[in-house]
Amino acid sequence: MKKIVVEGGKKLTGEISISGAKNAILPILAASVIGANESTLFNVPNLLDVTVMEKILLSLGLNIKRMDNMMWIDSKPLSNINIPEKLVREMRSSIILMGAMLARTGEVIISYPGGCEIGPRPIDLHLKGLKELGAEIVESHGFIHAKAKELKGCEIQLDYPSVGATENIMLAATKAKGTTVIRNAAREPEIVDLQNYLNKAGAKISGAGTSVIIIEGVDKFIDVTHNTMPDRIVAGTYMIASVITGGEIVIKNIVVEHLQAIIAKLKEAGSIIYDDKNSLKVIGPKKINSIEMIQTLPYPGFPTDMQAQMMALLTIANGTSIISETVFENRFKHAEELIRMGANIKTFGRVAVIKGVKELTGAKVTAKDLRGGAALILAGLAAKGVTEVDNIYHIERGYENFHLGLESLGANIKKID
The rounded distance, in Å, linking the Cα atoms of 285 and 93 is 37
The rounded distance, in Å, linking the Cα atoms of 129 and 207 is 18
Q: What is the CA radius of gyration of the chain?
A: 21
Q: What is the DSSP secondary structure assignment for residue 286, as one 8-state letter?
A: S
Tally the C-alpha atoms within 13 A of residue 115's C-alpha that lie toward its C-beta: 20
Q: Judge whether 124 and 137 are in contact, CB under 8 Å.
A: no
Quick one: three-class SS letters along 330-390? CCCHHHHHHHHCCCEEEEECCEEEEECCCCCECCEEECCCHHHHHHHHHHHHHCECEEEEE
Instruction: Walk across the sheet containing 224-227 and list its strands.
Output: 63-67, 70-74, 38-42, 224-227
- Count Cβ atoms below 10 Å from residue 349 Cβ, excluding itself: 10
Which residue from 108, 148, 113 is spatially nearest to 131, judged by alpha carbons?
A: 148
Q: Which are the contacts of 210, defined by CB distance < 8 A and separation ≥ 6?
A: 185, 187
Which residue from 191, 226, 199, 227 is spatially nearest to 39, judged by alpha carbons?
A: 226
Q: How far is CA 114 from the centre of its chain?
A: 14
Tell me the C-alpha to C-alpha distance, in Å, between residue 290 and each of 63, 226, 304, 356: 51, 41, 19, 7
- Catalytic: 116? yes
Counting every residue written for the chain, the total comes to: 417
User: What sign has the CA pseudo-torsion 264, 270, 275, 281?
Assistant: negative
Which residue from 132, 48, 57 is spatially nearest to 101, judged by alpha carbons?
A: 57
Of the candidates 6, 56, 98, 116, the residue annotated as catalytic is 116
Residues annotated as catalytic are 116
